Amino acid sequence: MSTHIWIRAETKPLEQRVALVPADAAKLIAAGFRVTAEESSQRAIPIGRYGEAGCEIAAENSWAEAAPDDAFILGVKDLPDNGTPLRHKHIYFGHVYKDQPDWQDTLGRFPAGGGTLFDLEFLTNEDGRRIAAFGYWAGYAGAAVAVATWCGQRAGNQPPLAPITAYPSREPLLAELSAALAEGSEKPDMLVIGALGRSGSGAVDLAESLGLSVTKWDMAETASGGPFPEIRRHSIFVNCILTSPGCPRFVGPEDADASDRRLSVVSDVSCDPGSIYNPIPIYDRSTEFDNPTLRVREGATPLDIVAIDHLPSMLPMESSEDFSSQLLPGLLTLDNPKAGVWGRALEVFEKNVARL
Residue 148: CB partners within 8 Å, gap ≥ 6?
A: 161, 176, 177, 180
Residues 88, 89, 95, 310: which is the catalytic one? 95
How far separated are the first and last CA of the chain, in Å rounded? 34
Based on the residue annotation, tell me whether 77 is a catalytic residue of this protein. Answer: yes
Residues 77, 98, 187, 216: which is the catalytic one? 77
Distance CA(342)–CA(308), nearest Å, equals 28
What backbone torsions phi and psi does residue 89 show, to the nearest 5 degrees? -95, 115
The residues pairing with 72 across neighbouring beta strands, listed in sequence order, are 5, 89
Active site positions, annotated:
77, 95
